[in-house]
Amino acid sequence: MGIAEAVIPQDIDVYRTDLNSERSSISRTFLNNKFTFYPQVFRIIWKNSRRALKDRYTADNWAESSFEIFRTLENIGVIIEISGMSNLRKFIGPAVFIGNHMSTLETLVLPAIIQPVKSVTFVVKKSLVSMPVFGPIMRSRDPIVVGRTNAREDLRAVLEGGVRKLKEGLSIIIFPQSTRSVEFDPRDFNSLGIKLALKANVPVVPLALKTDAWGIGKPIKDFGRIDTQKKVYFAFGAPISVKGRGMDEHRQVINFITDHLYKWSNEIREVR
Protein backbone atom coordinates (compact mmCIF):
# COMPACT_ATOMS: atom_id res chain seq x y z
CA MET A 1 0.00 0.00 0.00
CA GLY A 2 1.52 3.32 -1.08
CA ILE A 3 1.16 6.55 0.83
CA ALA A 4 -1.20 7.99 -1.81
CA GLU A 5 -3.65 5.13 -1.26
CA ALA A 6 -3.15 4.99 2.50
CA VAL A 7 -4.33 8.40 3.59
CA ILE A 8 -7.57 10.30 3.89
CA PRO A 9 -8.24 12.58 0.86
CA GLN A 10 -6.48 15.88 1.54
CA ASP A 11 -8.58 18.19 -0.66
CA ILE A 12 -11.66 18.05 1.54
CA ASP A 13 -12.77 19.82 4.72
CA VAL A 14 -15.01 17.11 6.16
CA TYR A 15 -14.56 13.35 6.12
CA ARG A 16 -17.31 10.92 7.10
CA THR A 17 -17.23 7.15 7.00
CA ASP A 18 -19.04 6.00 3.86
CA LEU A 19 -21.60 3.48 5.03
CA ASN A 20 -22.31 2.43 1.44
CA SER A 21 -18.72 1.86 0.33
CA GLU A 22 -17.89 -1.49 -1.29
CA ARG A 23 -15.75 -3.74 0.88
CA SER A 24 -13.79 -6.78 -0.17
CA SER A 25 -15.02 -10.26 0.71
CA ILE A 26 -12.01 -10.65 3.02
CA SER A 27 -12.99 -7.43 4.81
CA ARG A 28 -16.61 -8.51 5.16
CA THR A 29 -15.71 -12.01 6.32
CA PHE A 30 -12.77 -11.45 8.65
CA LEU A 31 -12.55 -7.77 9.57
CA ASN A 32 -16.16 -6.86 10.27
CA ASN A 33 -15.97 -8.38 13.72
CA LYS A 34 -15.13 -6.36 16.82
CA PHE A 35 -13.96 -9.50 18.60
CA THR A 36 -11.06 -9.70 16.15
CA PHE A 37 -10.27 -5.99 16.41
CA TYR A 38 -7.39 -6.18 18.87
CA PRO A 39 -5.66 -9.08 17.08
CA GLN A 40 -5.83 -7.00 13.89
CA VAL A 41 -4.40 -3.92 15.61
CA PHE A 42 -1.69 -5.95 17.30
CA ARG A 43 -0.69 -7.41 13.92
CA ILE A 44 -0.31 -3.91 12.47
CA ILE A 45 1.70 -2.70 15.45
CA TRP A 46 3.88 -5.83 15.60
CA LYS A 47 4.73 -5.65 11.89
CA ASN A 48 5.74 -2.01 12.12
CA SER A 49 7.56 -2.45 15.41
CA ARG A 50 9.88 -4.87 13.58
CA ARG A 51 10.47 -2.19 10.95
CA ALA A 52 11.20 0.42 13.61
CA LEU A 53 13.72 -1.82 15.34
CA LYS A 54 15.54 -2.17 12.00
CA ASP A 55 15.42 1.62 11.52
CA ARG A 56 13.16 1.16 8.49
CA TYR A 57 10.00 2.82 9.80
CA THR A 58 9.57 6.16 8.04
CA ALA A 59 7.08 9.00 8.47
CA ASP A 60 5.18 7.66 5.46
CA ASN A 61 5.07 4.21 7.07
CA TRP A 62 3.65 5.83 10.20
CA ALA A 63 0.84 7.48 8.23
CA GLU A 64 0.16 4.20 6.40
CA SER A 65 0.02 2.04 9.53
CA SER A 66 -2.14 4.63 11.29
CA PHE A 67 -4.50 4.55 8.32
CA GLU A 68 -4.65 0.74 8.55
CA ILE A 69 -5.93 1.08 12.12
CA PHE A 70 -8.32 3.82 10.96
CA ARG A 71 -9.74 1.45 8.34
CA THR A 72 -9.90 -1.44 10.79
CA LEU A 73 -12.10 0.67 13.07
CA GLU A 74 -14.41 1.44 10.16
CA ASN A 75 -14.47 -2.21 9.09
CA ILE A 76 -15.86 -3.32 12.45
CA GLY A 77 -18.57 -0.67 12.28
CA VAL A 78 -17.13 2.44 13.96
CA ILE A 79 -18.26 5.63 12.20
CA ILE A 80 -15.63 8.38 12.02
CA GLU A 81 -16.23 12.05 11.26
CA ILE A 82 -13.44 14.61 10.82
CA SER A 83 -14.16 18.31 10.32
CA GLY A 84 -11.93 21.34 9.74
CA MET A 85 -9.37 19.43 7.69
CA SER A 86 -8.86 22.47 5.46
CA ASN A 87 -7.45 24.29 8.50
CA LEU A 88 -4.35 22.07 8.27
CA ARG A 89 -3.55 23.80 4.98
CA LYS A 90 -4.14 27.38 6.12
CA PHE A 91 -0.64 28.04 7.44
CA ILE A 92 2.93 27.56 6.31
CA GLY A 93 5.36 25.66 8.48
CA PRO A 94 4.75 23.76 11.73
CA ALA A 95 2.21 24.32 14.50
CA VAL A 96 1.28 23.08 17.95
CA PHE A 97 -1.90 20.98 17.94
CA ILE A 98 -3.61 21.25 21.32
CA GLY A 99 -6.43 18.84 22.13
CA ASN A 100 -8.32 16.97 24.77
CA HIS A 101 -7.33 13.36 25.45
CA MET A 102 -10.03 10.70 25.70
CA SER A 103 -8.62 7.32 24.67
CA THR A 104 -5.89 5.33 22.93
CA LEU A 105 -7.68 5.84 19.61
CA GLU A 106 -6.38 9.37 18.95
CA THR A 107 -2.76 8.35 19.53
CA LEU A 108 -3.05 5.66 16.88
CA VAL A 109 -5.27 7.47 14.36
CA LEU A 110 -4.14 11.12 14.35
CA PRO A 111 -0.96 10.39 12.33
CA ALA A 112 -3.16 9.23 9.43
CA ILE A 113 -4.91 12.61 9.44
CA ILE A 114 -2.08 15.05 10.13
CA GLN A 115 1.18 13.45 8.95
CA PRO A 116 0.34 13.54 5.20
CA VAL A 117 -0.12 17.33 5.49
CA LYS A 118 2.28 18.32 8.27
CA SER A 119 5.20 16.30 9.60
CA VAL A 120 4.28 15.76 13.23
CA THR A 121 5.16 14.08 16.50
CA PHE A 122 3.66 13.84 20.00
CA VAL A 123 4.42 14.89 23.52
CA VAL A 124 4.19 11.50 25.27
CA LYS A 125 4.73 10.08 28.71
CA LYS A 126 7.83 7.96 29.29
CA SER A 127 5.89 4.72 29.71
CA LEU A 128 4.66 4.93 26.10
CA VAL A 129 8.16 4.85 24.61
CA SER A 130 9.16 2.07 27.02
CA MET A 131 6.46 -0.38 25.91
CA PRO A 132 7.94 -3.58 24.43
CA VAL A 133 6.05 -3.53 21.09
CA PHE A 134 4.62 -0.05 20.56
CA GLY A 135 7.65 1.61 22.15
CA PRO A 136 9.97 1.22 19.12
CA ILE A 137 7.33 2.78 16.85
CA MET A 138 6.88 5.77 19.11
CA ARG A 139 10.62 6.23 19.65
CA SER A 140 11.20 6.24 15.90
CA ARG A 141 8.99 9.35 15.62
CA ASP A 142 11.33 11.35 17.88
CA PRO A 143 8.66 12.43 20.38
CA ILE A 144 9.04 14.77 23.33
CA VAL A 145 9.10 12.52 26.39
CA VAL A 146 7.82 13.62 29.82
CA GLY A 147 7.89 11.71 33.07
CA ARG A 148 4.75 13.16 34.68
CA THR A 149 6.49 13.06 38.06
CA ASN A 150 8.39 16.36 38.03
CA ALA A 151 6.43 19.26 36.57
CA ARG A 152 9.49 21.52 36.30
CA GLU A 153 11.50 18.91 34.36
CA ASP A 154 8.53 18.24 32.07
CA LEU A 155 8.16 21.96 31.38
CA ARG A 156 11.83 22.19 30.44
CA ALA A 157 11.62 19.08 28.23
CA VAL A 158 8.59 20.39 26.34
CA LEU A 159 9.83 23.95 25.90
CA GLU A 160 13.43 23.15 25.00
CA GLY A 161 12.80 20.01 22.96
CA GLY A 162 9.62 21.39 21.46
CA VAL A 163 11.16 24.63 20.25
CA ARG A 164 14.02 22.70 18.66
CA LYS A 165 11.67 20.35 16.80
CA LEU A 166 9.36 23.17 15.69
CA LYS A 167 12.31 25.11 14.30
CA GLU A 168 13.23 21.97 12.34
CA GLY A 169 9.75 22.04 10.80
CA LEU A 170 8.14 19.31 12.92
CA SER A 171 4.66 20.03 14.28
CA ILE A 172 3.73 18.80 17.75
CA ILE A 173 0.56 17.26 19.17
CA ILE A 174 0.08 17.87 22.88
CA PHE A 175 -2.69 16.74 25.24
CA PRO A 176 -2.46 19.09 28.25
CA GLN A 177 -4.73 16.98 30.47
CA SER A 178 -3.00 14.99 33.19
CA THR A 179 -4.66 11.76 32.04
CA ARG A 180 -7.17 10.39 29.54
CA SER A 181 -10.74 11.19 30.48
CA VAL A 182 -14.17 10.96 28.87
CA GLU A 183 -15.20 14.09 30.75
CA PHE A 184 -13.44 17.34 29.86
CA ASP A 185 -12.56 19.57 32.82
CA PRO A 186 -10.89 22.88 31.80
CA ARG A 187 -9.30 23.07 35.27
CA ASP A 188 -7.14 20.05 34.35
CA PHE A 189 -6.16 21.55 30.99
CA ASN A 190 -2.84 23.36 31.40
CA SER A 191 -1.42 26.01 29.07
CA LEU A 192 1.83 24.22 28.22
CA GLY A 193 0.97 23.99 24.52
CA ILE A 194 0.29 27.73 24.39
CA LYS A 195 3.62 28.46 26.12
CA LEU A 196 5.43 26.27 23.61
CA ALA A 197 3.80 27.93 20.59
CA LEU A 198 4.54 31.39 21.99
CA LYS A 199 8.20 30.55 22.63
CA ALA A 200 8.65 29.04 19.16
CA ASN A 201 6.56 31.72 17.43
CA VAL A 202 4.29 29.21 15.67
CA PRO A 203 0.49 29.02 15.51
CA VAL A 204 -1.75 26.87 17.66
CA VAL A 205 -4.36 24.59 16.08
CA PRO A 206 -7.23 23.67 18.44
CA LEU A 207 -8.21 20.00 18.33
CA ALA A 208 -11.45 18.67 19.75
CA LEU A 209 -12.13 14.96 19.79
CA LYS A 210 -14.64 12.42 21.03
CA THR A 211 -13.15 8.94 20.93
CA ASP A 212 -14.84 7.06 23.76
CA ALA A 213 -15.84 4.35 21.26
CA TRP A 214 -12.44 2.97 22.32
CA GLY A 215 -12.97 2.44 26.02
CA ILE A 216 -10.45 2.76 28.82
CA GLY A 217 -9.71 -0.76 29.96
CA LYS A 218 -9.19 -2.39 33.35
CA PRO A 219 -6.57 -3.24 34.41
CA ILE A 220 -4.79 -2.22 31.18
CA LYS A 221 -6.04 1.22 30.13
CA ASP A 222 -5.03 0.85 26.48
CA PHE A 223 -7.28 -2.14 25.79
CA GLY A 224 -10.84 -1.26 26.66
CA ARG A 225 -14.16 -2.25 25.12
CA ILE A 226 -14.81 -1.13 21.52
CA ASP A 227 -18.34 0.27 21.28
CA THR A 228 -19.45 0.48 17.64
CA GLN A 229 -22.59 2.34 18.69
CA LYS A 230 -20.49 5.39 19.55
CA LYS A 231 -19.41 7.72 16.76
CA VAL A 232 -15.84 9.03 16.66
CA TYR A 233 -15.37 12.76 16.09
CA PHE A 234 -12.34 14.92 15.33
CA ALA A 235 -12.47 18.68 14.69
CA PHE A 236 -9.58 21.00 13.80
CA GLY A 237 -9.91 24.71 14.43
CA ALA A 238 -8.42 27.57 12.47
CA PRO A 239 -4.77 28.33 13.34
CA ILE A 240 -4.35 30.91 16.11
CA SER A 241 -1.40 33.25 16.56
CA VAL A 242 -0.37 33.51 20.22
CA LYS A 243 0.25 36.98 21.62
CA GLY A 244 1.07 38.44 25.02
CA ARG A 245 0.84 35.79 27.72
CA GLY A 246 -1.46 33.62 25.64
CA MET A 247 -4.35 33.68 28.11
CA ASP A 248 -6.95 34.61 25.47
CA GLU A 249 -5.64 31.95 23.11
CA HIS A 250 -5.75 29.32 25.87
CA ARG A 251 -9.38 30.28 26.48
CA GLN A 252 -10.12 30.00 22.75
CA VAL A 253 -8.76 26.45 22.66
CA ILE A 254 -10.83 25.45 25.70
CA ASN A 255 -13.96 27.02 24.22
CA PHE A 256 -13.39 25.23 20.92
CA ILE A 257 -13.20 21.88 22.70
CA THR A 258 -16.15 22.45 25.04
CA ASP A 259 -18.36 23.78 22.22
CA HIS A 260 -17.71 20.75 20.04
CA LEU A 261 -18.19 18.25 22.85
CA TYR A 262 -21.51 19.91 23.67
CA LYS A 263 -22.60 19.87 20.01
CA TRP A 264 -21.63 16.22 19.57
CA SER A 265 -23.42 15.15 22.74
CA ASN A 266 -26.59 16.88 21.49
CA GLU A 267 -26.27 15.11 18.11
CA ILE A 268 -26.16 11.78 19.94
CA ARG A 269 -29.27 12.65 21.98
CA GLU A 270 -31.17 13.59 18.80
CA VAL A 271 -30.29 10.28 17.15
CA ARG A 272 -31.43 8.34 20.19
What is the per-residue pLDDT across 104-125, written as a single tens digit (0 to 9) for each?
Answer: 999 999 999 999 999 999 999 8
Q: Is residue 68 part of a domain?
A: yes
Please count the structural domains in the chain.
1
Cβ–Cβ under 8 Å, residues 174 and 123: yes
**Could you tell me the pLDDT band of residue 34, with boundaries at 50, 70 and 90?**
low
Position 23 scores a pLDDT of 56
Task: Give Cα 3 distance to the centre of its chain.
Answer: 18
CB atoms within 10 A of CB 258: 15
The whole-model pTM stands at 0.92
The mean-pLDDT minimum among 120-129, 235-244, 249-258 falls in 120-129
Instruction: Give yes or no for residue 27 having a pLDDT over 60.
Output: no
* 235/223 Cα distance (integer angstroms): 24
The residue among 135, 156, 137 whose CA lies nearest residue 147 is: 156
Domain that holds residue 65: 23-271
83 in helix, strand or coil? strand
Instruction: Give yes or no for residue 98 having a pLDDT over 80.
Output: yes
- Compute CA distances 209 → 99, 106, 109, 119, 182, whole Å: 7, 8, 12, 20, 10
**Could you tell me the pLDDT band of residue 32, with boundaries at 50, 70 and 90?**
low
Q: Is residue 160 part of a domain?
A: yes
Burial zone of 229 (CB within 10 Å; 0-12 exposed, 13-18 middle, 19+ buried): exposed
- Compute CA distances 262 → 62, 210, 256, 259, 268, whole Å: 32, 11, 10, 5, 10
CATH code where residue 108 lies: 3.40.1130
Position 70 scores a pLDDT of 96
Q: Is residue 163 part of a domain?
A: yes
* 3/67 Cα distance (integer angstroms): 10
Q: Mean pLDDT highest for which of 113-122, 152-161, 181-190?
A: 113-122
Q: Is residue 1 part of a domain?
A: no
Contacts of 226 (CB under 8 A, 6+ apart): 34, 37, 73, 76, 78, 213, 214, 215
Q: Is residue 17 part of a domain?
A: no
For residues 216 and 37, the model is more confident at: 37
Instruction: Give yes or no for residue 35 having a pLDDT over 80.
Output: no
The mean-pLDDT minimum among 28-37, 85-94, 143-152 falls in 28-37
Task: Give Cα 148 distance to the centre of its chain.
Answer: 19
Q: Is residue 125 part of a domain?
A: yes
Instruction: Give yes or no for residue 141 having a pLDDT over 80.
Output: yes
The mean-pLDDT minimum among 49-63, 97-111, 121-135, 158-172 falls in 121-135
